Each structure stands twice: as structure tokens, then as C-alpha cells.
Amino acid sequence: MTEDENMDKEPSASGGSNPPPEQPKRQNTSMKIVGYNLLALIVYTLLSRFAATDGGAIFDMFFVAIHVFVCIIMAIVARSWVWLLSGILVLVIGFSTCVSLLSLGNMH
């Protein structure tokens, strides 16, 4: 076996034939998932605050519960921790938003 044949079979230490790592692309995708989930939370929270007069907090609680359930199902299907963490983030922010909507509703 010559040295040229040996170099063709083994990857070089400098990484000349190896593709670059995919870490930045995966991190960007993860941030998009979290961002879209937060955007959806903002949209239906604003709709529940301004569109519904008396049942705004109930409307918001309903959609937060559905949103968290969908995130958990997506975490299981996609086998990705990003969906689960996104669901927990939606739950924490959504719960605090519901509490504030209820307290603002009682101040009138």
C-alpha cells in the first residue's frame, strides 16, 4: 500500500476532507423554534386581552394549555429537548400573564 492510498482511506488531521460542524445551524433552528412559540404566545395573549371582554383570562388559559400540550407532543415526536423547554417557557410566561390578566380584570 502506498502513502497516497493510505491518505485516501484515512481522514487527514487537518480536516481537509471532513465537512464543517453543523452546530451554528442547529442552534439557529433551536432559537427559531423558541422564537415562534413566544410569538404565538404574544399573539393570542394580545387577542385575549383586547378581543374578549369578560373571558379574556379564560381564553388565554385555554390557549396556553393547548400550546404547552402541543409543545410536549412535538418534543416526543421530534425527540428534541428544544420543544420541551419551549413548552416550559410558554407555561411559565403564560401562567404569569394569566394571573396578571385576572388581577387587572378585578381592578376595574
**Is-above-0.85 flag for pTM?**
no
Q: Mean of the pLDDT values across residues 31-35?
A: 88
- Residue 99 has a pLDDT of 81
Backbone angles phi, psi at 89, to 5 degrees: -65, -45
- Residue 57 has a pLDDT of 76
At 76-108, the pLDDT tens digits run 998 988 999 999 999 999 888 888 777 766 554
* 97: CB partners within 8 A, 6+ apart: 41, 45, 60, 64
At 54-76, the pLDDT tens digits run 677 788 888 899 989 999 999 99
Closest Cα partner for 60 from 86, 91, 94? 94
